[in-house]
Amino acid sequence: MQVIEEAIGRAIRFRDCNALITETFDLARQQAAAALDRGLTPFPVVVKDCFTLQSQPTTCASKSLVNFRPPYTATTVQRLIDKGGCVIGKSNHDEFSMGTSSLLGYFGPVRNGIKHVNSEQNSQIEGEENEDDFIVAGGSSGGAAVAVQLGMADVGIASDTGGSIRNPAAFTGVFGLKPTYGLLSRSGLVPLVNSLDSPSILCQSASKCLEYLKMMHNVDENDSTSNEHSDKGNSFKSLKGLRIGIPKEFHDENLSLEGWQVWNRAANRLAKAGARIVSVSLPSSRFSLNTYHVICAADVASNMARYDGVAFGHRSEISNSTHALYAATRSESLNSVVRKRIFAGNYFLMRRHRKEYFERALLVRRVIASELCSVLSSLDLLLVPSASGSAPRFSELWESNYMREHHDDFYTQSANLAGKNII
What are the boundaries of each domain within the chain?
2-216
Q: How far apart, in whole angstroms, are the C-alpha atoms of residue 137 and residue 177?
A: 17
Report percent pLDDT > 90 for the chain.
Answer: 91
Give the pLDDT score at 153: 98
Question: Contact at 8 Å (CB) between 348 and 297?
Answer: yes
Write the pLDDT tens digit of every residue in 157-169. 999 999 999 999 9
Q: Yes or no: is domain 2-216 CATH 3.30.930.10?
A: no
Give the pLDDT score at 171: 97
| Positions marked catalytic | 48, 140, 164
Q: Quick one: average pLDDT of 125-136?
A: 74
Q: Quick one: average pLDDT of 287-305?
A: 97
Given a cut of 80, whether residue 296 has pLDDT beyond it is yes
Write the pLDDT tens digit of every residue in 371-385. 999 999 999 999 999
Cα torsion through 293, 298, 304, 306, rounded to 10? -170
With cut-offs at 50, 70 and 90, classify the pLDDT of residue 121.
confident
Q: How far apart, in whole angstroms, are the C-alpha atoms of residue 92 and residue 105?
A: 7
Q: At residue 5, what is the residue type?
A: E
Give the pLDDT score at 156: 98
